[in-house]
Amino acid sequence: MTPEQIETAIAFGAVAPTLYAAHAVGDHWVQSHTSACAKGTAGAAGHRACLTHVLTYLATCLVAVLAVTAALGILDTLTATGVVVGLVVNGLTHYVVDRRKPLVFLARLTGHGGWIDSGDPEAAYKLDQSWHLGWLLVSAVLTVTL
């Protein structure tokens, strides 16, 4: 491995779990009850609630990534482009599924409609969270490689 590859691997090893932790905090503790209830509703109010949630969520992710990489002395391995692109991908994919109808559409498209329609109260939540976590992995890679 080259020194640059080692540096990237170390940064990924810091950024990926940081985004995972920030996701949990931003998606559950930072999100307001109002946003949680309204973000999937139709119309401007639903879009506004979802946007508010995603912006506070992304702020949580940004602060966490900057704080952890600074504390570890590896902040300089990140570029502004990588951080911005990672956050944009994270935010856009988060927004789309949190509008709820796209989550149901994707579940049905991939053969999980029966689970969504089964009445299992955790089905939508688990699909939502696994979607977010998959995109967090992509976001972490983009953050450290761009």
Calculate mean pLDDT across residues 79-98. 98
pLDDT of residue 38: 96
pLDDT of residue 131: 96
pLDDT of residue 91: 98
Burial group, residue 47, by CB count within 10 angstroms (0-12, 13-18, 19+): middle
Q: What is the pLDDT of residues 99-116, one digit of tens each?
A: 999 999 999 999 999 999
Calculate mean pLDDT across residues 42-53. 96
- Tell me if the pTM is above 0.85: yes
pLDDT of residue 100: 93
Distance of alpha carbon 134 from alpha carbon 132, whole angstroms: 5
Phi, psi of 84 (to 5 degrees): -65, -50
pLDDT of residue 57: 98
Domain ranges of the chain: 3-145
Calculate mean pLDDT across residues 52-76. 98
Q: Residue 143 contacts by C-beta under 8 Å, 6 or more apart in sequence?
A: 11, 15, 19, 65, 78, 82, 83, 85, 86, 87
